[in-house]
C-alpha cells in the first residue's frame, strides 16, 4: 500500500467516471516511452532508478563531508539556483524546525542559500550575518557557468580566503558539478576542492536526490538514508502502468483530463508553512518540464490559510481556469490546544480546549468544499507526516507524475530550451564578448 495517498474523490463534478479509464491507453504509451527510452529527452531518465542506482561511495563521502562541516562550521552556505537550489531548500525547510537557524539548543550549523538572485543587498546581508564565524561553502552548478551562483561564489570565496587564507579556504569549499566539464569543474580540479557529481542523466529539477540536494540536506541534519529509502519504495510503488494501481499516474492523468477542459493553471497548496518551498520546487519541476511548445499547465501555489486572506477571493470567484492540489499533512510535527480564557471577547469560546490541528483540518475541509462549489477541481495528496522517508516518497511521486504528464501532452519533459532566452539578452546587455551585434539591437529596442 502506498505510503502517501492521492485522493481524486472530489472530482466527480468535473470528470466523468469513464474518463480515467479512457486515459489508460495513453498512459500505457507514455509509460513505455519513459521506461524503454523511446520518448523525447531519453538521455535524462536517470531519476527513475536514482533511488536505488546511485554512487554508494559518493553517498558515504557526502555523509562524511556533512559531518566535517557540522564540526568545523557555524554557518553553511549552499550556492545554487533553480534545480541546483530548490530541492535542498525544500527539504531543509520540510525537515526542520520552522525557525531552524534560530532554534534554541540547535547544535548544527546555520544553513543559508545564496546565488539564487542577483541582489547585492541579499548577499551583503548574508555576509553580515556570517560575520567572523566559521563557515563553509557548497557551490552547486551542473553547467558551472550560471551567472547568479558564479557571482555569489566569487564574493563568498573572497570572504573565505580573507578569513582562512588560500589553503584554508580550499578545505571549506565543496563543489557539486558535472563529472567532466565546465568552469566549476576546471576550477575544482585545479584547486583541489572536494567534488561531488551531478549525474549526466539527471536534469537540474530532478536532481534533489543526487549530491545536489543530499549534501545541504545532510549538513542541515536531514536523514538522507531515509530520504533515499522513501524514494526507493515509491519507485516500486509507482512502476506499474496500470492506472488503477499507480496513484502518481492517476494524478498525471487527471491533470491532463482537466487541462484539456480548460483548467490551465494548477495551484499546489499546503496548510503548513514549512511546505512553502515544496511548492517552489514543484513549480520548477512542473513548469520547466511541461511549459513548452506553447502548451502546458501553469504551475502556481498558495499557502493556506495565509493566502485565503489574499488570493481566496480570486480562487473562489475569479476566472475559472484553476485546479488545485493540496499536500495535506495528516500528523503535524506539533500541536497546541487553544486555551480557556475567562471573560474572553474574541469569540473563540467554542474553540476552547480544541487542538489547532483540528481547526486547521476543518479549514482545509471547508476550503475544499467551498472551492468545489466555486467550480475549482480539487485533488489532495495526503502525507502521514513530515519526515525524510515521506519526503523521499513524495519527491518521487511528483517526478514520476510529471514525466508521464509531459509525454501525455506530447512534449519533452526533460529539456528546458526556453530558459536560455533571457540569459542571452542579459549577456548582451552586460556587454559580454561575442554578443556585440545583439547588444546594439537590444539597446535600440530599450
Q: Is 41 in the site for ligand PA5 (CB under 6 A)?
A: no
Q: Which of 34, 77, 78, 81 binds ligand PA5 (CB under 6 A)?
A: 81
Q: Which of 8, 73, 84, 136 binds ligand PA5 (CB under 6 A)?
A: 84
Choice among 181, 362, 385, 423 that is catalytic? 423
Distance, CA of 446 to CA of 443 (rounded, Å):
5
Distance, CA of 283 to CA of 275 (rounded, Å):
13
H, E, C per residue of 107-158: CCCEEEEECCCCCHHHHHHHHHHHCCCCEEEEEEECCCCCHHHHHHHHHHHH
Is 423 considered catalytic here? yes
Q: Which of 41, 51, 83, 406 binds ligand PA5 (CB under 6 A)?
A: 83
Q: Is 143 in the site for ligand PA5 (CB under 6 A)?
A: yes
58 contacts 197 by C-beta, under 8 angstroms: yes
Least CB distance to ligand PA5 at residue 145 (A): 7
Least CB distance to ligand PA5 at residue 36 (A): 24
**How far, CA to CA in Å, does 123 sit from each of 11, 73, 95, 324?**
45, 19, 25, 35
Q: Which is nearer to ligand PA5, 7 or 201 (CB)?
A: 201
Q: Which is nearer to ligand PA5, 116 or 246 (CB)?
A: 116
Instruction: Residue 188: name the closest of 211, 171, 164 by CA.
Output: 171
332 contacts 315 by C-beta, under 8 angstroms: no
Q: Which is nearer to ligand PA5, 172 or 283 (CB)?
A: 283
Least CB distance to ligand PA5 at residue 279 (A): 16
Instruction: Residue 222: name the closest of 50, 389, 388, 51 by CA.
Output: 388
Q: Which is nearer to ligand PA5, 285 or 391 (CB)?
A: 285
Q: Is 301 in the site for ligand PA5 (CB under 6 A)?
A: no
Least CB distance to ligand PA5 at residue 150 (A): 8
193 contacts 68 by C-beta, under 8 angstroms: no
Q: Which of 60, 118, 349, 419 binds ligand PA5 (CB under 6 A)?
A: 419
Binding to ligand PA5, residues 189-218 (CB under 6 A) = 203-205
Helix (H/G/I), strand (E/B), else coil: 194: strand
Choice among 288, 290, 324, 399 that is catalytic? 288
Q: Which of 46, 87, 149, 413 binds ligand PA5 (CB under 6 A)?
A: 149
Is 365 considered catalytic here? no
Distance, CA of 193 to CA of 140 (rounded, Å):
12
Chain position whose Cβ is nearest to ligand PA5: 82
**How far, CA to CA in Å, does 368 sit from each of 8, 354, 416?**
12, 21, 34
Catalytic site positions: 288, 423
Q: Which residues bind ligand PA5 (CB under 6 A)?
A: 81-84, 141-143, 146, 149, 203-205, 288, 416, 419
Amino acid at each position: 500500500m502506498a505510503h502517501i495517498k492521492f485522493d481524486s474523490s472530489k472530482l466527480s463534478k468535473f470528470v466523468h467516471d469513464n474518463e480515467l479509464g479512457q486515459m489508460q491507453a495513453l498512459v500505457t504509451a507514455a509509460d513505455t516511452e519513459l521506461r524503454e527510452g523511446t520518448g523525447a529527452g531519453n538521455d535524462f531518465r536517470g531519476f527513475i532508478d536514482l533511488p536505488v542506482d546511485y554512487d554508494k561511495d559518493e553517498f558515504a563521502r557526502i555523509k562524511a563531508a556533512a559531518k566535517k562541516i557540522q564540526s568545523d562550521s557555524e554557518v553553511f552556505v549552499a550556492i545554487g539556483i533553480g534545480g541546483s537550489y530548490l530541492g535542498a531548500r525544500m527539504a531543509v525547510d520540510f525537515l526542520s524546525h520552522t525557525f531552524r537557524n534560530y532554534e534554541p539548543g540547535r547544535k548544527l550549523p546555520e544553513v543559508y542559500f545564496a546565488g539564487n538572485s542577483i541582489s547585492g543587498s541579499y548577499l551583503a546581508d548574508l555576509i553580515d550575518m556570517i560575520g567572523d564565524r566559521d563557515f563553509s561553502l557548497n557551490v552547486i552548478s551542473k553547467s558551472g557557468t550560471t551567472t547568479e551562483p558564479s557571482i555569489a561564489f566569487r564574493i563568498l570565496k573572497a570572504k573565505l580566503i580573507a578569513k582562512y587564507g588560500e589553503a584554508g579556504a580550499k578545505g571549506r569549499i565543496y563543489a557539486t558539478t558535472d563529472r567532466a566539464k565546465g568552469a566549476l569543474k576546471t576550477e575544482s580540479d585545479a584547486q583541489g576542492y572536494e567534488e561531488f557529481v551531478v549525474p549526466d542523466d539527471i536534469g537540474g529539477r530532478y536532481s534533489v536526490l543526487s549530491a545536489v540536494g543530499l549534501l545541504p540536506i545532510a549538513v542541515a541534519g536531514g536523514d538522507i538514508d531515509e530520504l533515499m529509502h522513501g524514494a526507493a519504495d515509491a519507485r516500486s510503488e509507482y512502476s506499474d502502468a496500470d492506472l488503477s494501481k499507480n496513484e502518481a499516474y492517476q494524478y498525471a492523468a487527471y491533470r491532463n483530463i482537466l487541462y484539456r477542459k480548460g483548467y490551465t493553471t494548477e495551484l499546489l497548496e499546503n496548510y503548513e508553512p514549512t511546505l512553502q518551498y515544496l511548492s517552489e520546487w514543484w513549480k520548477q519541476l512542473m513548469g520547466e518540464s511541461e511549459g513548452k511548445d506553447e502548451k502546458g499547465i501553469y504551475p502556481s501555489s498558495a499557502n493556506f490559510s495565509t493566502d485565503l486572506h489574499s488570493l481566496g477571493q480570486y480562487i473562489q470567484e475569479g476566472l475559472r481556469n484553476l485546479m488545485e492540489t493540496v499536500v495535506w499533512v495528516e500528523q503535524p510535527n506539533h500541536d497546541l490546544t487553544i486555551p480557556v480564557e475567562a471573560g474572553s471577547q474574541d469569540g473563540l469560546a467554542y474553540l476552547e480546549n480544541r487542538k489547532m490541528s483540528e481547526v486547521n483540518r476543518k479549514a482545509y475541509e471547508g476550503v475544499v468544499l467551498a472551492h468545489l462549489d466555486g467550480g475549482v477541481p480539487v485533488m489532495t495528496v495526503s502525507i502521514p507526516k513530515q519526515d525524510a522517508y515521506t519526503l523521499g516518497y513524495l519527491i518521487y511521486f511528483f517526478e514520476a507524475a510529471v514525466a508521464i504528464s509531459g509525454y501525455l501532452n506530447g512534449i519533452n519533459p526533460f529539456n528546458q530550451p526556453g530558459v536560455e532566452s533571457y540569459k542571452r539578452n542579459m549577456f548582451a546587455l552586460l556587454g559580454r564578448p561575442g554578443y556585440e551585434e545583439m547588444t546594439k539591437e537590444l539597446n535600440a529596442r530599450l
